[in-house]
Amino acid sequence: MKIHIDEEFLSICKKIKEKNLSVDEWRLVESDDMFQSSNFCGGYDTIEDAFCFSYYDQERKEFWFQIDLSEIGQILDGVKTYLSVRSAC
């Protein structure tokens, strides 16, 4: 399933970009819930070597997705406009 990247997730991407950390530095501050909002919760995971998020739709059904650090720039530049998510169940 694909979801459109909205202002809520763009805000999270901006926070990630503002931290200005390398992949090696993200590995040192791993956290599964560093970034939280109404519909998203996630952080950097060293096993996946990516940002792993849960997304909750309007019915509060949970979906999972992950993105790497390079995709943050693509999202902020408007190149990547959707996220591929899969059901958490």
pLDDT digits (tens, 9 = 90+) for 3-57: 999 999 999 999 999 999 999 999 999 998 999 999 999 999 999 999 999 999 9
Token pair, residue 46, equals 């060293």
Strand partners for 45: 50
Is the pLDDT at 62 greater than 90? The verdict is yes
Taking alpha carbons only, the member of 60, 88, 62, 83 closest to residue 12 is 83
Number of structural domains the chain divides into:
1
Structural domain span for residue 51: 2-87
pTM score? 0.93
